[in-house]
Homo-oligomer: A and B are copies of this chain.
Amino acid sequence: MPTLYNRIQGRNLDRLAALSDGIFAFAMTLLVLDLRLPSAAQVHGERELLAALAALGPQWITYAMSFLTLGIFWAGQQTQLNHLAEGTRDLTWIHLGFLFAVTVLPLSTRLLAEFITYRAALGIYWLNILVLGTMLYWSWMYAARNRLIKADTPEEVSHSICRRILIAQAWYAGGAALCFIHPWISIAAIVLVQLNYVLAPRLWWKKPRL
């Protein structure tokens, strides 16, 4: 009897997509809630205000980095779901695990902003990215094994989705390892990896016309 129930559960990919969009939207907006602005009592004059805002620099960097992280994984999950024909109960739970890691990211970000010179904070942030990547990889492996992928998806697409995750995670791991030199170098490396995925392809070849 649970077999039957489990068979009818989680087949609606549209609702999984809607829940994901809601969680990503909230996590992205939540990041900004943690930025502490100077209060009017502490500031006297235009210059002091600009100086107080400039002092928030490290907070802004971690915030922008986390927005990039969420954007990259949102786009990655979307690409996967676009190629799936239907869902199953297990796939739903793999994605709920993925979404759990998404809801934790604002917390890892806050930790990193508070302890930006601590290797432990950076390690936890990287762990969060690792879990996001692992769940997405698992999701695609599971979908491939259970024939949930749309029939018209070429084999190379499937390969490129897997390779993309593995290569990105290798870069992130390398960037995180640099924290043994200094956490700032590590953060700079992770942001560079992210900007590569967001912008760099423009520099090397012409965008394909779709």
> Chain B contacts of A67 at CB under 8 A?
96, 100, 103
Instruction: Check A120 against B50 for contact (C-beta < 8 Å).
Output: yes
Considering only residues 22-56 of chain A, those with a C-beta below 8 Å from chain B are 22-33, 35, 37, 39-40, 43, 46, 49-50, 53
Contact B114 A39 (CB under 8 A): yes
A29 shortest CB reach to chain B, Å: 4
Residue A130 at the B interface, CB < 8 A? no
Size of A's binding interface in residues, CB under 8 A: 90
Bound CA span A89–B46, Å = 40
Give chain B residues whose Cβ lies under 8 Å from the Cβ of A202. 90
Which of A133-141, A157-165, A170-178 binds B?
Answer: A157-165
In the assembled complex, the CB of A209 is this many whole angstroms from the nearest CB of chain B, namely: 6
Q: Which residues of B contact A21 (CB under 8 A)?
A: 15, 18-19, 22, 25
Given the complex, which residues of B lie within 8 Å of A208, measured CB to CB? 3, 6-7
User: Which of A5, A40, A100 neighbours the largest number of chain B CB atoms within 10 Å of its CB?
Assistant: A5
**Which residues of B lie under 8 Å from residue A157 when comparing CB positions?**
4, 8
A interface with B by C-beta (< 8 Å)? 1-12, 15, 17-19, 21-33, 35, 37, 39-40, 43, 46, 49-50, 53, 64, 67, 71, 74-76, 78-79, 81-83, 86, 88-90, 92-93, 96, 99-100, 103-104, 106-107, 110-111, 114-115, 118-121, 124, 146-148, 156-157, 159-161, 163-164, 198-199, 201-202, 205, 207-210
